[in-house]
Each structure stands twice: as structure tokens, then as C-alpha cells.
Amino acid sequence: MTKPRILLFDSGMGGLTVARAVAKQIPDAHLIYSADNAGFPYGAWKEKPLVERIRRVVGALVNRAKPDVVVVACNTASTIAIADLRASFEVPFVGTVPAIKPAAAQTKSGIIGVLATPGTVNREYTHSLIHTYAYHCKVFLHGAPRLAEIAEQKLRGHPVNMAELADEVAPVFRKRDGGRTDVVVLGCTHYPLLTEEISKVAPWDVTFIDPSPAIARRVADVAEETVLKGPDANAPAHGTVLLTAARSESSETLAAYASMGFPKHEIIDLPV
Ligand code: DGL
């Protein structure tokens, strides 16, 4: 039986949380992971150069991997570039956007926190999700400058500085009119790597929403609806990471990818 060849794309290691869910949902999928580690972190980029960068990187990745489906496992990229990618390439794309709709359905206090990158919190797309699905809630949206980097360091085996972490997440824990935040959206794919630590520094218990299982179900549906290309001897093997910069060849970074199911790696050339 032909296996779907699925390319997951992020600026760094965050999309591994989505890859983990996809591997669980579609155990026989041929998974190729990619990180624009030369461009990391995307959270700090201006919109126009970022859209151009993503188009250029994804073009090179699609060329190399010949995927059946591409998962943009990055909120910062999806909220700004998913329409551009769909218009530029024929392959189907599944994006990742902050899970504001499920948060609005789950909150009892009506107070929701959204943790995301500084880029994602500024996006028109994010504000329109709030206006459409959470217009009846109070939403505290916070662009955390260092959280994605802290998650990467943890995956590389470094201890998490809990005081710094507490400062990064504090703005979404709020009280208002006798109620307080009861649902926090993890609006960056890096953050589920830190759920345990964030729970420890949280001032009270909340429900965290990690959208990766829902994304994985969507990927399975799209793969089923797609005519698969079939095996390609030149495509990267299952469990390969495609990187844009050689700097990530440090042994702890490669060990981090291996621990999440991607033991092989390759550096890709970007067109000038
Ligand atoms: N993992 C990415 C996201 O979901 C962003 C991390 C970054 O590059 O700033 O938004």
C-alpha cells in the first residue's frame, strides 16, 4: 500500500509536537521534518520579508521532498503565509493557527489566555479568529519573546530557568470581575514542549489547549483525499530532518531531533 509522504515545516523544533501527533494518527506515514533554522525565530520577523522567506524555503523543500501533503507546523508562518503558499504551490497545505475556537467553547469563566509569538499576536488573522469565535470572551493575548527558544533549549537537554519562564507566561493569567483565566491556548507549536513546566509556574490550574491532535486528524483526512505520488527513491528517507543552516549540526540538536523520531538530517540549498 502506498504511504502518504508528509512534509512538516517549522522555523525550528516546535513542529515536532505536531509530527508526534501525526505519527500517532497515521502510523505508516512517511514523515519528513523541516526547520528553517537559519531563519529562526520567525516570531521577530516583519511580515513582508517573512512571507517571501517562507515561500522561498517551502519552494526548496517541496522540490526536495516531493510531498503529498505539507503541514505548516508553525502558527507564526501559517497566520501570515498560508494563503500565499496555497496560491504558489499545487501540493495541499494544512496550517496551524491559534486554537481560539475550542478555547471559547471550553472556557467557563469567559477568560481565555493566548500564548503565542510576538508575530502571531500582531496578525490580522489572529484578531479575526478572536472577533469571530471569542467575541463573547475576554481574551488576553500575549506575545512571549523567549518561549520558543526556551523550549528548544529544553529539547537540547538544558535545564529550564523557571523564573524566566514564569515571567514569559504571567501576562495570560488574569483576574477580572471575580473570575480568572481558565483556558490557555498554546498558540505556538514549540509551547507544548513546555506544558509541564508552564503548569508548575502557573499561579492556578488551567486547561492548556495543544491543537496538535486536531491538526493530525486534519492531515489524515487530507492525505486520504489526495492522490498519492507513490515511492520515490530520491526523496529523503522517513525520519529525515531538512535544515537550512549547518549551524544546527551540533550533536545536542541532532540528538533532540533523533529523540523525536528524526535521526537523519540533510542541509538543503536555498535558491538565491
Ligand atoms: N513554532 C512557531 C509557531 O508555531 C514559532 C517559533 C518562532 O520561530 O518564533 O509559531
Strands 207-209 and 179-180: unpaired
> Are 29 and 106 in a shared domain?
no
| Distance from the alpha carbon of residue 78 to the mean position of ligand 1, in angstroms | 10
Cβ(12) – ligand 1 distance below 6 Å:
yes
| Distance from the alpha carbon of residue 27 to the mean position of ligand 1, in angstroms | 25
Catalytic residues: 74, 188
> Are 199 and 223 in a shared domain?
no
Atom of ligand 1 nearest to the CA of 39: 8
> Are 197 and 139 in a shared domain?
yes
Q: What is the DSSP letter of 188?
A: S
Which residues pair with residue 264 across a beta bridge?
240
> Is residue 77 in a domain?
yes
Question: Containing domain of residue 115, as a range?
Answer: 100-210
Q: What is the DSSP annotation of 5-44?
A: EEEEEESSSTTHHHHHHHHHHSTT-EEEEEE-TTT--GGG
Cβ(68) – ligand 1 distance below 6 Å:
no
Q: What percentage of the chain exceeds 90 in pLDDT?
A: 94
> Are 81 and 118 in a shared domain?
no
pLDDT of residue 247: 65
CATH number for the domain that contains residue 162: 3.40.50.1860
> Is residue 22 in a domain?
yes
Strands 264-267 and 240-243: parallel
Residue range 85-117, pLDDT digits in tens = 999 999 999 999 999 999 999 999 999 999 999
Residue range 139-182, pLDDT digits in tens = 999 999 999 999 999 999 999 999 999 999 999 999 999 999 99
> Is residue 272 in a domain?
no
**How many whole angstroms separate alpha carbon 266 and alpha carbon 245?**
10
Atom of ligand 1 nearest to the CA of 77: 10
> Are 90 and 9 in a shared domain?
yes
pLDDT of residue 246: 74
Residue range 14-23, pLDDT digits in tens = 999 999 999 9
Cβ(11) – ligand 1 distance below 6 Å:
yes
- HSE of 230, CA atoms in CB hemisphere, 13 A: 0
Q: What is the DSSP annotation of 119-149?
A: HHHH-HHHHHHHHHH-TTSEEEEEE-SSHHH
Cβ(193) – ligand 1 distance below 6 Å:
no
